[in-house]
Chains A and B, each alone.
Chain A
Amino acid sequence: MTAAHAARDTATMLRRNLRHMQRYPGVPVMMVMLPVMFLLLFVYVFGATLGNGLGHGLGGRGVYVNYVSPAIILLTVASSATATAIGVAIDMTEGIVDRFRTMAIWRPSVLAGHVLGSMIQTLLAVAVVIGVALLVGFRPTAGAAAWLATVGFLAMITLALTWLGVALGVVAKTVGTASNTPMFLILLVFLGSGFVPTASMPTGLRQFATYQPFTAFTDTVRGLLTSGPTGGHAAVSAAWCAGIAVAGYLWAVARYNRGPAQASAQ
């Protein structure tokens, strides 16, 4: 199995997944709708009050939209794991994966195709969500270099989370399970520095929030887009991403190679 074959098989699988998104756009639409809903909710319902809390009584909605938009972007990225897990689980529960298993192709190409497809889908969804954020008053101060860095940074997180999503999709026994298990990632965006500063939380929660990966992710994106400090958050994020990606990849490939989850009894 040469590297050229591996690349070609992965490209074939990627084409397959891109077609799926075109023909069955339910998942991509959900990926945009959920963050946009939260954006509108937090800006227009809670925004004025939360903004005042941030700006010592003077912030209002304008301050809060800038604060919360990076979290909304990460919410979009976090939901990529759900979308990937659903796509993989659908594949695993149908006969097509058995067909791929009996072919002399690069084995992980089935999974790698899902990862690349999800990355493209996620970055497109992020672009739409940023567009909506700009419409409701998000005013990033980032220059071209900072924007480029943001895109690269988001791609890195997406890569890590989609491999985790692939693993969760491979181990899921049903598509329903696959759509639920990655939900904890979305919760992590809330239990961090995404919507309110961690300093305002009670001690136990604050300690958790400070050290969980999404706080580092959020602080880095916020720093890049609003020209604030990113500090050590970028490096911490990179370490988290590397760990999640490697663990997700190894878990997914091991379970995929082990064969069908439910062995046929006849």
Chain B
Amino acid sequence: MANLNPTERPAAAAGADPPGTHAGMVSRRPPEHLPATPASAGRTGLAVEARGVRKSFGDQVVLDGVDLDVIEGTVFALLGPNGSGKTTTVRILSTLLAADAGEIRVAGHDIAREPDSVRAAIGVTGQFSAVDKLLTGRENLMMMADLAHLGRADGRRRAADLLDRFDLSGAAGKMAATYSGGMRRRLDLAMTLVGAPRIVFLDEPTTGLDPRGRHAMWQIIRGLAADGVTILLTTQYLEEADQIADRIAVLDHGIFVAEGSPEQLKARVPGGHIRLQFTDPQQLETAARLLANAGRDDETLSLQVPSDGTVATLRALLYRLDQHTIDIQGLSIHTPDLDDVFFAVTGHPTASEDNQR
């Protein structure tokens, strides 16, 4: 459950819900691509430029025509559930996997024709630890410095810098096998940064981290962005994308279903919803007629009522139900999370294979 920072809530969420907003929540909207680039940016302003990227494994279509523009110096988040194609996208953009179709330029180089020029410009931290566990933290960084063809003194300085910046100086002489998950993740990212890449790909950088580790990782990513590094990251959490990304693309079964700034996306799910649980279909029917803007689920006998989740609106809702003598079995309050964004832009819940067409 994501908790959006209250100060960052879109204005719409604070007052009454605008009536037109929820019509789209129950029906599938066509994907809406908001303009990604100012017209003046042109080709040179793009760190990543992808058109019509397709990839299948056997008869399983993983990416079904993805277009992607990432402006230099921005943080771009690919948001989606497991199996939506996030990791495949990162693996293709980082030259690990060849796309079946599509045109991709990374750092201005065609990925199929000049993979080594792309590799020289990027840094990649995958989902699975890519540190050498039998080397110490410092040795791992020195190895990366050697592979980046830095001089001995430069490499040592760079390693010391990164150890310091990532709070690993104390463990620099210990084997990475002894590191905690958070330390290993930081070392992983530090190794990615040794060669000072202009574009960094991060595949679920905070998965498996505790809240403290997650916040530390966000700080690091913000710091990189402040230095002008372009970052493309994947995440399953709206909160995370909201916290660190300039733009978010929502990926669902290999296609982008929505793209925009965190504010634009959140405006589509103003304030989340209240879920009402019924025992009796008759009661559900009455309530659904009363609350016309609610999403209805006959299978589970529940209603999803758009709401900002404040006590006042909750009280008003209960009062209304009471007045019409509608009994509810249970109620839960949901602040907007990935599920809401998903529901809003696709009309179906996340990660449910049954909903796959």
Interface residues in A1-60 by Cβ distance below 8 A to B read 1, 5, 8-9, 12, 15-16, 19-20, 23-24
> Which single member of B88, B122, B123, B132 contacts A16 (CB below 8 Å)?
B132
| Beta-carbon nearest neighbor of A5 in chain B | B149
CB <8 Å contact, A265 and B126: no
What B residues does A5 contact at CB under 8 A? 149
Per-residue contact bits, chain B 126-164, to A (CB 8 Å; 1 contact, 0 not): 101111111100010001001111000000000000000
Question: Closest CB of chain A to B314's CB: distance in Å?
Answer: 38
What A residues does B97 contact at CB under 8 A? 259, 263
Total number of residue pairs linking A and B with CB closer than 8 Å? 82
Question: Contacts A103-B119, A265-B57, A266-B83 given: A98-B126 contact, CB under 8 Å?
Answer: yes
Question: Contacts A23-B175, A99-B124, A104-B120 given: A12-B130 contact, CB under 8 Å?
Answer: no
Task: Give Cα distance in the complex from A80 to B87, angstroms.
Answer: 37
Question: Contacts A95-B128, A101-B95 given: A24-B134 contact, CB under 8 Å?
Answer: yes
Question: Contacts A96-B130, A98-B130, A99-B130 given: A264-B88 contact, CB under 8 Å?
Answer: yes
Interface residues in A214-266 by Cβ distance below 8 A to B read 259-260, 263-266
Within 8 Å of chain B (Cβ to Cβ): is A102? yes
CB <8 Å contact, A266 and B87: yes
What B residues does A130 contact at CB under 8 A? none
User: In the complex, which range does the number of interface residues on chain B fall in?
Assistant: 35 or more
CB <8 Å contact, A266 and B143: no
Between B87, B131, B143, the greatest number of chain A beta carbons within 10 A of the residue's beta carbon is seen for B143
What B residues does A94 contact at CB under 8 A? 128-130, 133
Interface residues of B (CB under 8 A from A): 57, 60, 62, 82-88, 91, 94-97, 116-117, 119-120, 122-124, 126, 128-135, 139, 143, 146-149, 175, 191-192, 195
Could you show 14 A-B contacts with beta carbons less than 8 Å apart? A12-B143, A12-B147, A16-B132, A19-B134, A95-B129, A95-B131, A102-B95, A103-B147, A103-B195, A104-B117, A259-B96, A264-B91, A266-B85, A266-B86
Seed contacts A15-B143, A259-B97; 9 additional CB < 8 Å A-B pairs: A1-B116, A94-B129, A98-B128, A99-B130, A101-B95, A103-B195, A259-B96, A265-B57, A266-B86
